[in-house]
């Protein structure tokens, strides 16, 4: 069976590295990017099942990532994480069809559960 | 938080310290006068409130940085800025309360603060000195003198162990050297532009060797050498060693950098050796290592240690806890002459396994052949020579020396509170010198839940079985590649199994690409072994004749199993490999995570345990937690004194002992309506307690069956653990320090309890106005090992959660709180809390298994108190 593919975008290395380690442990194929630009280029080349992205980044932000994913792949779910527990941001993201929205620090267990739910929904 | 500029936060912190300084200036004027009791009490509450908030932040940081959360540096910045603000608040109240008698505490906090902010904001070293002799190095200078110098100086200055005369050349000197020769640009160039990386590294090393030592650095080194000459006479030689900023901290960098041995005490020779060590920062293997752990080459600043050579008869390495998981034993490796051959894994050394008892006991020993030894050459440098016949094959240590070394290792492990990798030498007079101590990474059982290990259906031929010593457990498969010379590494095929005659730290260059290592000789205490554990490469050393048995190009699976058995199967068995990978992945392997989490080292550990020991002083506070602990203990003592000598109105009720049927040893300071006793009465019975919360909690403590006065026997390792956490009580500085003290009014109670090795604090306001009511419970410490202590915390958490408390816990610390509850409900909860305090006093010693936690908590909730 092919592994599910997950892309993680966050401008902090520690978030990328920790996410990669813990998601690979679940058997996913994980690619990480500290900058959204190369991440979007990669997305144009290949489909990912899940994209986990930081909301606020220098240059292209999480909402832009979300819009690009929506244009490219209907089935790819986007999970947004953010350093700001900002209600407006959460509402904006959720209205834009984001699968889930987590303030940082994010409990890894909850992120994993959210990914699993997204994959289950996709398989229905 | 990204919008908050770092500069602002840093600026605020500096302002905070400045504000405190002016505050302290004022408060010292009050020295000598006694604070009115009401003000003392107000300040006391100020200390407690801030302390409690600080501990909640520390607990939260421990939780968020514990590996279960994705966090970023903004979280750390935000949490620490909140923490430093409340600690500053606590200190300012504390200083007023104690009338400036512990004014040094501000300086201590400043030092911790500068360490933490330095780490978070990546700010350079603080003193600006270029050279420090070891006697002038304190525990918080590792950023300036590097990890290796700092650890060794600490052993000399705090543990009073014999360490050779030495001085450190600081990271400040390194910065000047790099800037003076415009090498910083060459380092930046490593990461950009064209050309092979190896060539750029080589060019950079050449530039460093040709570079000039800046005049300031040069004259400071010369002055240090003159001083050294006066101390050591002539002839005298130095070992010039690397001491990188992060070296020997969270990462070992074992064997990655140059050590130049036996350097004459001459300026030019030392300067040359200095440059050689600096250049090794950019060696191919060091660069590969840094890349492997996600460290950008060139980011590390290199301090250097200049340590007087010991005229060594024998030398070696000790692992203060055996790396095979048998933590109650330690390992000693020894050889004749200098220890270089052991750490490079090139000698068949003597091996001892020693049981870590109060009197260490040798449980296993093996004398090695030691055909060769490394010795100092008379004019400088070292030579590998044949061991004289009367010594080759003979043990180089007496059993007494082994035990003496073991004793040193146990005390070093106890001091640093984690297993250590220690280098030592013994000179011709039999004196033991410690040359290095660094944290030893030891495999903990993986926390990942996995199924049972798969059975190998058709294991194929077993090529080797139960040979050698496991350095790193795990399973790896690939094609055998036999490395005979270092040049062979250039052609190492990715994914292969490295097989070699000897082990070598050079193998780090291919560690990212290999699946397993097997060597014919070697010890589990070599540099390579440290690296294999760090990178979790399945490794077996001293396997006999692997280079002969295994064939170049042969496909094999190497299994170094959990149970200590080893097997090399013919063929590649993916099921075994995948199972092993899944069980061995840990967050600790993520470099960024370990590096960021390192900041907690200055925040959460509690070193200051016993108020009756001499070291219970501001100067010995190494962490924020120590500062909080110190303030709490001294504040309670201060309040007791203040009550004793306070106003006449309070005097008659001050500091009264509770006369209870249980030996709880509680002193009550009545601040109004807490006790109903006659003036001058020194004791109060339970019936005379009129403080609603105190009465309820004491009632719970006296509940039939909960106060067990029988001594609970500690197992040997619990006993050792308690010994390591606290030495014998030797002296006291105040009549009330260490007592259990309750400050009580009719509606309020603050109860500080210390039973043996743990501390319990309960703060409660219980009035008719529900909105004002709260119950705060804090518990930390214990005598047993951390596993059992954590079980007790788990048990407390389970029970308190059942009663509706909000819980935060980490390691052996728990904070539980409740607010907005009616007095009726609160009285009931206090009763239960009292029972819990009584019953958990010694409970950790009997929590032998995780399942006991559930059983005992169910029993407690069901009202059964037999354990």
Residue from A18, A19, A52, A108 whose CB has the most chain B CBs within 10 Å, to mutate = A18
Instruction: Measure in Å the smallest separation between the Cα of A80 and chain B Cα atoms.
Output: 13
Handedness of CA B671, B672, B674, B679 (dihedral sign): positive
Give the closest-approach CA distance of A21 to chain B in angstroms.
Answer: 7
Q: Which is more confidently placed, A92 or A6?
A: A6
In angstroms, what CA-CA distances link B295 with B292, B300, B662?
7, 8, 58
Contacts across the A-B interface (CB distance below 8 Å): 65
State the pLDDT confidence band at B380, using cuts at 50, 70 and 90.
Answer: confident
The residue of chain B with its CA nearest to that of A54 is B72
Query: Can you read off the two tokens belonging to residue A106?
Result: 């994010």
The residues with which A32 forms a beta bridge, in sequence order, are A8
Q: How far is A56 from chain B (nearest CA, A)?
A: 9
Distances (CA, A) of B453 to B32, B560, B693: 70, 13, 54
Q: Give the mean pLDDT of B536-548.
A: 90
Query: What does each C-alpha distance from B595 to A97, B249, B590, B599, B601 come to in angstroms?
Result: 36, 9, 9, 8, 11
Contact A33, A42 (CB under 8 A): yes
**Angstroms from A25 CA to nearest CA on chain B:** 6
Given an 8 Å threshold on Cβ–Cβ distance, is A104 in contact with B590? no
| Cis? peptide before B849, omega within 30° of 0 | no
Looking at beta carbons, which residues of chain B come within 8 Å of A25? Answer: 448, 582, 585
Beta strands across the sheet bearing B329-336: B361-366, B350-355, B329-336, B312-319, B420-427, B432-439
Tokens read off for B678: 């006659």
Q: What is the pLDDT of residue B455?
A: 57
Q: Which of B319, B321, B374 is nearest to B344 (CA)?
A: B374
Neighbours of B348 (CB within 10 A): 19
- Residues of B whose CB is below 8 A from A34: none
Ranges B102-106, B648-652, B769-773, most confident: B102-106
pLDDT at B717 over 50: no
As a three-state string, the secondary structure of B679-741 is CCCCEEEHHHECCHHHHHHHHHHCCCCCCCCCCCCCCHHHHHHHHHHCCCCCCCCCCCCCCEE
Distance in Å, alpha carbon of A28 to nearest chain B alpha carbon: 12
Tell whether the model's pLDDT for residue B450 goes beyond 90: no
CATH number for A54: 3.40.50.2300
Q: Do B70 and A18 touch (CB under 8 A)?
A: yes
Q: Of B776, B775, B783, B842, whose CA–CA distance to B812 is shortest?
A: B783
Nearest to B294 among A17, A104, A109 (CB): A17
pLDDT (0 to 100) of residue B784: 61
Query: Which chain A residue's Cα is nearest to B71?
Result: A105
Confidence (pLDDT) at B718:
44
Comparison of pLDDT for B649 and B125, the residue scoring more: B125
Looking at residue B458, what is its pLDDT?
A: 54
Provide mean pLDDT across the span B544-559. Answer: 93
In chain B, residues with a C-beta closer than 8 Å to the C-beta of A108 are 68-70
Pair B596, B64: CB distance under 8 Å = no
- Hunting for tokens 């020194």 — which residue is that? B682
Cβ contacts (< 8 Å) between A15 and chain B: which residues? 70-72
Rounded Cα distance between B745 and B9, Å, is 40
Q: Pick the most confident of B196-210, B214-228, B715-729.
A: B214-228
Q: Mean pLDDT across the stretch B235-240?
A: 92
Contacts of B72 in chain A (CB under 8 A): 10, 12, 14-15, 83, 104-105
A91: three-class secondary structure by DSSP: helix
Interface test with B, best of A9, A12, A79 (most B CBs within 10 A): A12
Tens digits of residue pLDDT in B248-295 = 666 677 778 889 999 999 999 999 999 999 999 998 888 888 777 766
The residues on A that touch B, with CB distances below 8 Å, are: 10, 12-15, 17-19, 21-22, 24-25, 56, 81, 83-84, 104-109, 111
**Tens digit of pLDDT for each residue in A49-95?**
999 999 988 889 899 999 999 999 989 999 999 876 667 777 777 77
- Closest to A104 (Cβ–Cβ): which among B75, B587, B596? B75
Set of chain A residues whose Cβ sits within 8 Å of the Cβ of B2? 56, 83-84
* B187-196, B505-514, B558-567, range with greatest mean pLDDT: B558-567
CA max distance for chain A = 40
Contacts of B79 in chain A (CB under 8 A): none
Token pair 């006369």: residue? B659
**3-class DSSP state of B771:** helix
Q: How far apart are CA B736 and CA B667, in angstroms?
A: 9
Contact A111 B70 (CB under 8 A): yes
Please tell me which of the candidates A24, A84, A108 has its beta carbon nearest to residue B70: A108
Strands B740-744 and B462-465, bridge-based pairing: unpaired
Q: What percent of chain B has pLDDT over 90?
A: 34
**Interchain pair B587, A15: CB under 8 A:** no
- Cα B443 from chain centroid? 16
Phi and psi angles of residue B278, each rounded to the nearest 5 degrees, phi first: -60, -45
What φ, ψ does residue B236 adopt, rounded to 5°? -145, 140
Average pLDDT, chain B: 82
**In A2-62, at which residue ranges do the beta strands (DSSP E only) sit?**
5-9, 29-33, 50-54
Confidence of residue B664 (pLDDT cuts 50, 70, 90): confident
Is the CB of A17 less than 8 angstroms away from the CB of B74? no
Nearest to B70 among A25, A56, A106 (CB): A106
- Chain B residues with CB under 8 Å of A17 CB are 294, 590-593
Q: What percent of chain B has pLDDT over 70?
A: 81
* CB-CB under 8 Å, B72 with A24: no
In whole angstroms, what is the distance from residue B309 CA to residue B740 CA?
52
Residue A47: CB atoms within 10 Å: 13
Inform me whether the pLDDT recorded for A21 exceeds 80. yes
Q: Which of B63, B65, B72 to mutate to test the interface with A (most CBs of A within 10 A)?
A: B72
The closest alpha carbon to B664, from B644, B684, B650, B681, belongs to B684
State the Cα–Cα distance between residues B666 and B484, nearest whole angstrom.
Answer: 72
- Select the more confidently predicted residue: B590 or B99: B99
Which DSSP category does B261 fall into? E
In this structure, is residue A101 part of a structural domain? Answer: yes
Q: Write the ipTM.
A: 0.94
Of the candidates B533, B631, B540, the residue with the CA atom closest to the CA atom of residue B89: B631
Given this model, what pLDDT does residue B807 score? 85
Mutate to test the interface with A, among B67, B70, B74 (most CBs of A within 10 A): B70
Residue A106, in any domain of the structure: yes
pLDDT at site B719: 41
B255 vs B363, more confident: B363
Number of folded domains in chain A? 1
Can you give the residue range of the structural domain that contains A20? 5-118
Q: Which residue of B has its CA nearest to A17?
A: B590
pLDDT by residue (tens digit) across B340-351?
Answer: 877 666 667 899
Residues of B with CB under 8 A from a CB of A: 1-2, 64, 68-75, 294, 448, 582, 585, 587, 589-593, 596
Q: Which of B68, B448, B585 sits opposite A108 (nearest CB)?
A: B68
B531 contact partners, CB below 8 Å, separation of at least 6: B252, B254, B255, B289, B505, B507, B508, B511, B537
pLDDT band at B855 (very low <50, low <70, confident <90, very high): confident
Please indicate, yes or no, if residue A123 is contained in any of the structural domains. Answer: no
What secondary structure letter does DSSP report for A117? H
Instruction: Judge whether A77 lies within some domain.
Output: yes
Give the pLDDT confidence of B400-431 residue by residue, as tens digits: 999 999 999 988 887 776 789 999 999 999 99
Summarize the confidence of residues B452-477 as an average pLDDT: 77
Q: A-chain residues within 8 Å CB-CB of B451? A: none
> Backbone phi, then psi, for B555, in 5-degree steps?
-90, 130
pLDDT value, residue B593: 82
Contact B591 A17 (CB under 8 A): yes
| Chain A residues in contact with B589 (beta carbon < 8 A) | 21
Contacts of A14 in chain B (CB under 8 A): 71-73, 590, 592-593, 596
Residues in chain B: 867
| pLDDT at residue B249 in the model | 63
**What whole-number distance in Å separates Cα of residue B202 and Cα of residue B207?**
9
Identity of the residue in A10, A84, A105 whose CB atom sits nearest the CB atom of B69:
A105
Mean pLDDT of B614-643: 83
- What residues of A are in contact with residue B582 (Cβ under 8 Å)? 25
Model confidence pLDDT, tens digit, residues B132-175:
999 998 777 888 898 899 999 989 987 889 999 999 999 999 99
Long-range (24+ apart) CB contacts under 8 A made by B561-567 are B561/B473, B561/B475, B562/B473, B564/B324, B564/B470, B565/B465, B565/B466, B566/B464, B566/B465, B566/B466, B566/B467, B566/B468, B566/B470, B566/B540, B567/B462, B567/B464, B567/B465, B567/B466
Tell me which chain A residues have a C-beta less than 8 angstroms from the C-beta of B73. Answer: 12, 14
Residues of B in contact with A19 (CB under 8 A): 70
Q: Quick one: DSSP state of residue B75? A: H
- B9 pLDDT band, cuts 50/70/90, is very low
R_g of chain A, CA atoms, integer Å: 13
SS3 breakdown of chain A: % helix, strand, coil, rounded to 5?
Answer: 50, 20, 30
3-state SS track over B611-670: CCCCCCCHHHCCCHHHHHHHHHHHHHHHHHHHHHCCCHHHHCCCCEEEECCCCCCEEEEE
Q: Do A25 and B589 touch (CB under 8 A)?
A: no
- Which of B68, B70, B582 faces A15 most closely, judged by CB atoms? B70
DSSP string, B336-390: EBBTHHHHTT-S--EEEEEE-SSS-EEEEEE-----EEEEE-TTSSEEEEEPPTT
**H or E stretch covering B106:** helix B104-121
Of residues B476, B462, B456, the one with CA closest to residue B558:
B476
pLDDT of residue B93: 95
Residues in chain A closer than 8 A to B585 (CB atoms): 21, 24-25
List, in sequence order, every residue forming a beta bridge with A54; answer none if it has no partner: A81
Residue B706: beta bridge partners? Answer: none
CA distance A11 to chain B (A): 10
Confidence class for position B452, pLDDT limits 50, 70, 90: low
pLDDT band at A39 (very low <50, low <70, confident <90, very high): very high
Query: For residue B44, how many other CB atoms are within 10 A of its CB?
Result: 25
Name, in order, each residue with C-beta under 8 angstroms of B235's C-beta and a sequence gap of 6 or more.
B264, B265
Q: Please, which residues have CB within 8 angstroms of residue B29's CB and are 6 or more apart in sequence?
A: none
DSSP B843: G
DSSP secondary structure string, B492-541? PPTTPEEEESS--GGGGGGGGG-SEEEESS--TTSHHHHHHHHHT--EEE
Cis-peptide into A59, omega within 30 deg: no
Q: Cα–Cα distances in Å, from B724 out to A92, B413, B414, B595, B734?
A: 55, 9, 5, 27, 25
**Residue A21 and residue B590: Cβ atoms within 8 Å?**
yes
Cβ distance A14 to B73 less than 8 Å, yes or no, reads yes
Rounded to an integer, what is the distance from CA B847 to the centroid of its chain? 25
pLDDT value, residue B395? 94
Based on its alpha-carbon atoms, the radius of gyration of chain B, rounded to whole angstroms, reads 30
Q: Which residues are paired to B477 by β-bridges?
A: B557
pLDDT of residue B3: 35
Q: What is the mean pLDDT of residues B100-124?
A: 86
Using an 8 Å CB-CB cutoff, list chain B residues near A84. Answer: 1-2
């Amino acid at each position: 069976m092919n592994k599910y593919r997950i892309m993680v975008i966050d401008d902090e290395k520690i978030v990328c590295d920790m996410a990669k380690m813990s998601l690979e442990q679940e058997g996913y194929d994980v690619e990480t990017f500290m900058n959204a630009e190369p991440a979007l280029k990669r997305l144009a080349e290949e489909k990912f099942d899940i994209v986990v992205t930081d909301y606020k980044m220098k240059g292209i932000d999480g909402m832009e990532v979300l819009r690009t994913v929506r244009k490219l792949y209907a089935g790819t779910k986007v999970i947004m994480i953010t350093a700001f527990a900002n209600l407006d941001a959460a509402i904006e993201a959720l209205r834009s069809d984001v699968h889930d929205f987590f303030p940082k620090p994010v409990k890894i267990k909850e992120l994993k559960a959210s990914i699993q739910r997204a994959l289950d929904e996709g398989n229905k | 938080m990204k919008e908050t500029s770092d500069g602002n936060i840093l600026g605020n912190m500096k302002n905070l310290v400045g504000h405190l300084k002016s505050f302290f200036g004022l408060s010292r004027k009050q020295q000598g006068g006694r604070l009115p009791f009401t003000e003392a009490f107000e300040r006391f509450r100020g200390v407690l409130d801030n302390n409690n908030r600080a501990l909640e932040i520390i607990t939260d940081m421990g939780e968020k940085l514990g590996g279960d959360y994705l966090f970023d540096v903004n979280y750390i910045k935000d949490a620490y800025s909140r923490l430093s603000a409340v600690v500053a608040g606590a200190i300012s109240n504390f200083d007023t309360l104690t009338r400036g008698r512990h004014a040094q505490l501000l300086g201590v906090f400043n030092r911790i603060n500068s360490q933490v902010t330095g780490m978070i904001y990546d700010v350079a070293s603080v003193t600006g000195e270029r050279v420090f002799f070891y006697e002038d190095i304190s525990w918080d200078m590792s950023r300036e003198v590097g990890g290796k110098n700092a650890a060794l100086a600490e052993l000399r200055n705090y543990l009073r162990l014999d360490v050779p005369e030495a001085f450190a050349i600081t990271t400040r000197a390194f910065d000047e050297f790099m800037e003076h020769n415009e090498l910083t640009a060459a380092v930046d160039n490593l990461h950009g532009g064209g050309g092979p990386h190896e060539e750029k590294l080589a060019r950079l090393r050449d530039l460093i060797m040709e570079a000039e030592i800046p005049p300031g650095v040069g004259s400071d080194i010369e002055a240090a050498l003159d001083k050294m000459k006066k101390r050591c006479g002539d002839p005298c030689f130095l070992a010039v060693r690397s001491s990188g900023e992060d070296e020997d901290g969270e990462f070992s960098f074992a064997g990655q950098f140059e050590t130049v041995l036996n350097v004459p005490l001459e300026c030019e020779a030392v300067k040359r050796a200095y440059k050689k060590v600096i250049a090794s920062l950019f060696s191919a293997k060091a660069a590969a290592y840094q890349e492997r752990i996600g460290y950008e080459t060139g980011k590390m600043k290199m301090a250097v240690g200049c340590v007087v050579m010991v005229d060594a008869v024998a030398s070696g390495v000790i692992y203060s806890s055996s790396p095979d998981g048998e933590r109650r034993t330690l390992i000693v490796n020894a050889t004749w002459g200098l220890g270089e051959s052991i750490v490079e894994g090139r000698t068949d050394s003597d091996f001892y396994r020693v049981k870590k008892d109060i009197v260490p006991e040798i449980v296993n020993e093996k004398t090695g052949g030691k055909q060769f030894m490394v010795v100092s050459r008379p004019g400088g440098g070292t030579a590998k020579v044949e061991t004289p016949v009367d010594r080759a094959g003979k043990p180089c240590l007496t059993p007494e020396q082994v035990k003496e070394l073991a004793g040193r290792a146990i005390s070093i492990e106890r001091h640093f509170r984690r297993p250590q990798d220690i280098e030592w030498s013994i000179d011709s007079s039999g004196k033991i010198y410690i040359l290095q101590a660094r944290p030893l990474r030891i495999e903990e059982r993986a926390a990942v839940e996995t199924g049972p290990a798969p059975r190998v259906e058709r294991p194929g031929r077993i090529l080797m079985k139960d040979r050698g010593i496991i350095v790193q457990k795990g399973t790896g498969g690939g094609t055998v590649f036999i490395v005979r010379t270092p040049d062979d590494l250039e052609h190492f095929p990715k994914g292969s199994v490295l097989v070699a005659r000897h082990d070598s730290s050079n193998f780090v260059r291919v560690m990212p690409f290999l699946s397993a290592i097997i060597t014919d000789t070697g010890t589990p205490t070599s540099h390579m072994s440290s690296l294999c554990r760090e990178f979790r490469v399945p490794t077996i050393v001293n396997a006999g004749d692997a280079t002969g048995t295994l064939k170049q190009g042969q496909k094999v699976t190497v299994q170094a199993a959990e149970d200590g058995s080893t097997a090399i199967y013919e063929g590649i068995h993916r099921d075994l490999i995948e199972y092993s990978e899944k069980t061995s992945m840990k967050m600790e392997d993520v470099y960024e995570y370990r590096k960021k989490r390192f900041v907690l080292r200055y925040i959460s550990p509690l070193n200051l345990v016993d108020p009756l020991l001499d070291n219970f002083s501001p100067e010995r506070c190494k962490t924020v937690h120590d500062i909080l602990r110190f303030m709490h203990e001294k504040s309670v003592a201060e309040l007791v004194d203040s009550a004793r000598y306070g106003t006449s109105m309070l005097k008659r009720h001050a500091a009264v002992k509770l006369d209870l049927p249980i030996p709880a040893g509680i002193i009550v300071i009545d601040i109004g309506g807490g006790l109903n006793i006659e003036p001058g009465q020194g004791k109060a019975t339970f019936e005379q307690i009129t403080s609603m919360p105190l009465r309820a909690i004491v009632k719970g403590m006296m509940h039939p069956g909960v106060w067990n006065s029988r001594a609970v026997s500690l197992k040997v390792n619990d006993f050792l653990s308690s010994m390591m956490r606290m030495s014998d009580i030797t002296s006291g500085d105040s009549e009330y320090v260490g007592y259990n003290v309750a400050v009580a009014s009719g509606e309020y109670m603050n109860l500080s309890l210390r039973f043996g090795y743990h501390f319990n604090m309960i703060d409660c306001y219980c009035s008719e106005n529900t909105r004002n009511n709260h119950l705060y419970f804090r518990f930390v410490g214990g005598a047993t090992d951390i596993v059992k202590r954590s079980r007790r915390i788990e048990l407390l958490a389970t029970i308190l959660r059942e009663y509706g408390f909000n819980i935060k816990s980490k390691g052996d610390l728990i904070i539980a709180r409740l607010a907005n509850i009616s007095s009726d409900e609160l009285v009931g909860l206090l009763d239960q809390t009292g029972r819990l305090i009584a019953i958990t006093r010694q409970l950790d010693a009997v929590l032998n298994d995780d399942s006991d936690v559930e059983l005992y908590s169910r029993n407690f909730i069901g009202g059964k108190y037999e354990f």
